[in-house]
Amino acid sequence: MTDLTSPVAPPPTAPTTADKSQFDSSSARKQWQVIARRFLRHRAAVIGVVIFVILVLFAFLGSAFWQYSYTDLGFTRYENPTANHPFGTDRLGADMVAQIIRGTQFSLQIALVVAFLSTLIGVVLGALAGYKGGWVDTAISRFIDLLLVIPGFIIAAVLVRNSFVATATGGGSSNWLVVALYLGLIGWLSIARVIRGMVLSLREKEFVEAARALGASTSRIIFRHILPNTVDVIIVNATLAVAQAVLLEAALSFIGLGVHSPDTSLGLMISLNKNELNLHPWLFLIPFVFIVLISLSVNFIGDGLRDAFDPRQKRVKA
Amino acid sequence: MLRYIIRRLMISIPLLILASFLCFALTTAMGDPLGEWKLQKPRTPAEISAAYERTGYNKPFLERYGSWAGDFVTGDWGESVVPGNAGRDVKTDIGKAFVVTFRLVILAEIIALLLGMLVGVIGAVRQYSLFDYTATGISFAMFSMPLFCVALILKTGGISLNNWLESIGADRWIITAGPPGDGFKGGFGEQFFQYTGAYILPTISLVVIQFALYSRFQRASMLDTLNADYVRTAQAKGISEARSIFRHAFRNALIPIVTVSSLNFGATIGGAVITETVFGWSGMGKFLVDAITKLEPFQVLGFMMVTAVFIIVFNLIADVLYAFMDPRIRLD
Amino acid sequence: MSELDVMDAPESAGSSSSSEKLLTVQNLSVDFPTDDGVVHAVRNVSFTLAPGEVLGVVGESGSGKSVSSMAIMGLLPKTANVTGSIKFKDHELVGRDYKQMMPVRGNNISMIFQDPMTSLNPVYTVGWQLAEAYKAHHDVSKKAAWAKAVDSLELVGIPQPDRRAAQYPHEFSGGMRQRVMIAMAIINDPDVIVADEPTTALDVTVQAQILDTLLRIRDETNAGIIVITHDLGVVAGMVDRVQVMYGGTVVEQGGVDEVFEAQRMPYTVGLLGSIPNPSLLGKRLTPIKGAPPSLMNLPSGCAFSPRCPLAIDECRETEPELLETDRAGHFSRCHRTAHLATLVDPQKLFATDEIGVVENPASLTVANPDIPIVEDVDVVEARMQEEEENPTS
């Protein structure tokens, strides 16, 4: 196949002395720089990073710097936002800023665990199925097909319900990790399929054949040769999975089948305040804005990453 | 083609059987149906054993599965078993709920798909234009919003609209608590008024998110096809730009979105869960949430099986449509 | 009469005088503004094409050959900045928008693209796509267009054309698909056919057939053909005049035999010398050291100067003009062209030290250059028998 040289990517400049080797290892470093540069050119993606970092700092470090704690309940209830309580107070008289800090923290925690878990399982199983082929592939693929027949959301809801039964008598046990685990367990299906497809085609490439011929073991081939070529897709997918997880957890909490006290999450907060839109809109709107900020910023980052790894430009042959 | 369809349907049967087993396991994992009932107040052993007899949970797993499966395929989907809620036939309830949900979902899907395709195509053709940036921005924003928030905001807006209408002497239009169980009444104009009033907000909620998905997807696949070699060939033949975009690029971009939307539709039943909860519709979504909350195993099972069939059927439709649209794929 | 009407189908192809040029390109330049800078893909390219003439455009990837052909067709992206003049029979093409180029494309000037696998729309039948090409320029019924489509398939040598026209592109082999592309290009009897690397994606055996088909069409219609390729074998076999491109511009131009025998620009020398040749069995290949220049950061002066064995200071300072050499009709863009003309064996200019210290593996085989390359089976068998009976080693 002829080389398509896009006018955008400059071919190596002609060396002034005839001796400079073209196989400089610095060209590998340059690839990451190129990707980083392309990413930074995406204004939206950069804004996304900034917002996300601010949110993370806010969620995890905010409580150390904010004057009130989420357990302080003594304030006047339903107070509109004031200088003292920039986010107002809720129906129990707790300061909303503290609540939001905590809620954001939980939402982020859950989302990150879910994304990590589903990506990990998905990549491992997908790569295994794609590389090994044969009965391993068939078993995993059929299993995925089977799981896809039931919407994951519903599987998660059903499973999470179990963690409630014990708490029906009141008091409560923390179940955010359980929710995160279940969501992670249902979220790996699509990434597994994608990775499987990629590994299947990468497996046939000549460089894998070459590695085999040199005596490389299966795991070495998978980890050192095949997976690095899938890293782009994995990173983009993992990023988008975070955004999806935030929304999914919020939805579960809304219908009452997600986290519950003593844990909280932005979704739960919205759900608890769903009737306040008319009289005390900030109780609903502020957690809503925060969820949207998390989701938007992560989506922007994911989009920026996707473009940075594989820009869509009109290519013209020279 | 026909052979392929029949073959797929044949394969679906063992798939459904496996799925039923999985569903049953999940339902069992959901917990003891009497778990919370027992904790509500002290129950006598006689009450407890009677209640267990009813649920069938006093028997081992496989036996329960066997008896449920056997009943299920003969049309007996069981009934609700938790004391205080017991005695409702699952099949009847699901049947009613399904009709409600289906009407809502299919309307929303079609609107979302058509609108999404339109915006996606225009966005791709006029890439980086103001329209594209605006559409992308809106899609992004919609995509990033939880559905229930959108629905809640719309509902509040609807109530405000109603209040305003009332204040100027008109009838309240938006119905935020589900369509009337026994249909609409009155003349055509009245029915239309009520129909739109009931459907508009939930439909918009569903459309909003689906539209964002479809428009992004369509835009991406249009961008791919617009840059394809065969479009360049077509333009080199001297055909008009519009023709090259629609007859060549769009026709090829249609293939993936048709597949995706078919698959998506099968799973949209889940999305209806949120909307129905917010707007108080007695559809499949509300049915499920109630069933899970009340720990009703047979209701949950009934729901899952219906959803499974739906998804399998739509997967088949997606594959058939794909083969229909892409001559390179020959199913046999 | 609008400008568009002037460009009607040239049924009068035979009546145009043979001295009238079909295509006159003067000082064509194409720039692409990008985030990293301006890419000068084509710089000051000038050439002409006469009826019945086959012009070969040769160059490596990045030399600007494809972009210049796309410029002729007006198919460059909107961001491209095209300056200069492209005249088709006195009608200026540069500056026309899409609508204004429509009557020309596929009708007066048509193009055959490189990759037949992706150049055909997979969801429509071949006949449909051919008929579309015809109907774009002729107001006829679907039936008539389909008949014309079948005809054109027959013209390019596809058997059972009526059956094949109803098939989809994926049911054709690579060579057949390229024939379909040719059929699409000739269905409206164009005056100019631009073939962009028509054989690159095909097997060698099929290449010959495709090139033969093109030549046959030229014979029958007297169309002018531009063949863009990096394969010098293709050039030698079918082209009348050849144009060598490097760094976005034309560096040598002339009759094909001329240029092959007597190069007047060092790049051409290196190009011809780098082809593997059976008569050089056992000897080292002589590539041109270095790499083609970046079209964004072109070296000052001549684009080839960093790699040129004859380069002097003037070469690195000023870019030479395309001027006629000591041989008529033979142009080159080189300050040292006069000196080059005096060299007996210009190939030696590029002889270099070996890359690495590995022995040339070809020398390990005992090669006898005196053995003729093509022999009859009986002769070979006789020799083998003889060696068997009288083993020499």
CA–CA distance from B117 to each of B41, B136, B137, B203, C124 (Å)? 56, 13, 16, 18, 21
B126 CB near a chain C CB, below 8 Å? no
**For range C32-46, the mean pLDDT:** 88
Nearest to B240 among C102, C120, C123 (CB): C102
- Cα gap B285→B278, rounded to integer Å: 10
CA–CA distance from C363 to each of C104, C207, C277, C284, C368 (Å)? 55, 31, 15, 10, 11
**For range B228-249, the mean pLDDT:** 93
- Cα gap B167→B10, rounded to integer Å: 60
Q: Which residues of A touch C308 (CB under 8 A)?
A: none
Exposed e or buried b for every residue in C90-120, given b needs 16+ CB within 10 A? eeebbebeeeebbbbbbbbbbbbbbbbbbbb
Nearest to A151 among B149, B267, B312 (CB): B267
**For range B4-26, the mean pLDDT:** 88
User: Cβ–Cβ contacts within 10 Å for residue C66, how many?
Assistant: 26
Cβ within 8 Å of residue B231, ≥6 positions away: B225, B244, B245, B248, B249
- For residue C87, what is the DSSP state? E
Residue A91 pLDDT grade (very low, low, confident, very high; cuts 50, 70, 90): confident
Question: What is the residue type of B163?
Answer: N
Task: Say whether C39 and A8 touch across the interface (CB within 8 A).
Answer: yes
**For range A108-132, the mean pLDDT:** 91
For the record, the structure tokens of B139 come out as 């899609």
SS (H, E, C) C111-154: EECCCCCCCCCCCCCHHHHHHHHHHCCCCCCHHHHHHHHHHHHH
The most confident of A113-127, A161-175, B154-168, by mean pLDDT: A113-127
Residue C350 pLDDT grade (very low, low, confident, very high; cuts 50, 70, 90): confident
Chains in contact with A, where contact means 3 or more Cβ–Cβ distances below 8 Å, are B, C
Supply the pLDDT for residue C353: 53
B229 CB near a chain C CB, below 8 Å? yes
Supply the pLDDT for residue B280: 83
Give C348→chain A minimum CA distance, Å.
Answer: 17
Nearest to A146 among B18, B35, B140 (CB): B18
Q: Which residues of C touch A3 (CB under 8 A)?
A: 61
Residue C301 pLDDT grade (very low, low, confident, very high; cuts 50, 70, 90): confident
Higher pLDDT, B102 or C273: B102
For chain B, state the CA radius of gyration: 24
Residue B133 pLDDT grade (very low, low, confident, very high; cuts 50, 70, 90): confident
Task: Say whether A155 and B26 touch across the interface (CB within 8 A).
Answer: yes
- Cα gap B193→B38, rounded to integer Å: 48
Give B316→chain A minimum CA distance, Å.
Answer: 12
For the record, the structure tokens of A155 come out as 């599987």
Beta partners for residue C227, in sequence order: C56, C195
C294 CB near a chain A CB, below 8 Å? yes
Contact C37, C297 (CB under 8 A): yes
In percent, how much of chain A has pLDDT > 90?
Answer: 12
Question: What is the residue type of A82?
Answer: T
The count of CB pairs under 8 A between chains A and C is: 78
Supply the pLDDT for residue A163: 74
Read off φ and ψ for residue C38, nearest 5 degrees: -90, 130
Task: Say whether C121 and B328 touch across the interface (CB within 8 A).
Answer: no
pLDDT over 50 at C248, yes or no: yes
**For range C265-273, the mean pLDDT:** 85
Supply the pLDDT for residue C50: 92
Give C289→chain A minimum CA distance, Å.
Answer: 7
Task: Say whether B234 and C123 touch across the interface (CB within 8 A).
Answer: no
Chains in contact with B, where contact means 3 or more Cβ–Cβ distances below 8 Å, are A, C
Supply the pLDDT for residue B332: 57
Judged by average pLDDT, the poorest of A95-99, A106-110, B170-174, C5-9 is C5-9
Q: Which residues of B touch C120 (CB under 8 A)?
A: 230, 233
Contact A267, B146 (CB under 8 A): yes
Residue A255 pLDDT grade (very low, low, confident, very high; cuts 50, 70, 90): confident
Closest CA to B22 of B306, B315, B301: B301
Supply the pLDDT for residue A15: 37
Judged by average pLDDT, the poorest of A135-139, B53-57, B304-308 is B53-57
pLDDT over 90 at A269, yes or no: no
Q: Which chain C residue lies closest to B233 (C-alpha atoms)?
A: C119
Q: Which residues of C touch B225 (CB under 8 A)?
A: none
Supply the pLDDT for residue B91: 86
Higher pLDDT, C189 or A94: C189
pLDDT over 90 at C142, yes or no: yes
3-state secondary structure of C44: strand
Task: Say whether B237 and C168 touch across the interface (CB within 8 A).
Answer: no
Question: What is the residue type of C342?
Answer: T
Give A88→chain C minimum CA distance, Å.
Answer: 47
Give C206→chain A minimum CA distance, Å.
Answer: 16
Judged by average pLDDT, the poorest of A171-175, B19-23, B296-300 is A171-175
For the record, the structure tokens of A88 come out as 């107002």
Q: Which residues of A touch B153 (CB under 8 A)?
A: 277, 288
pLDDT over 50 at B231, yes or no: yes
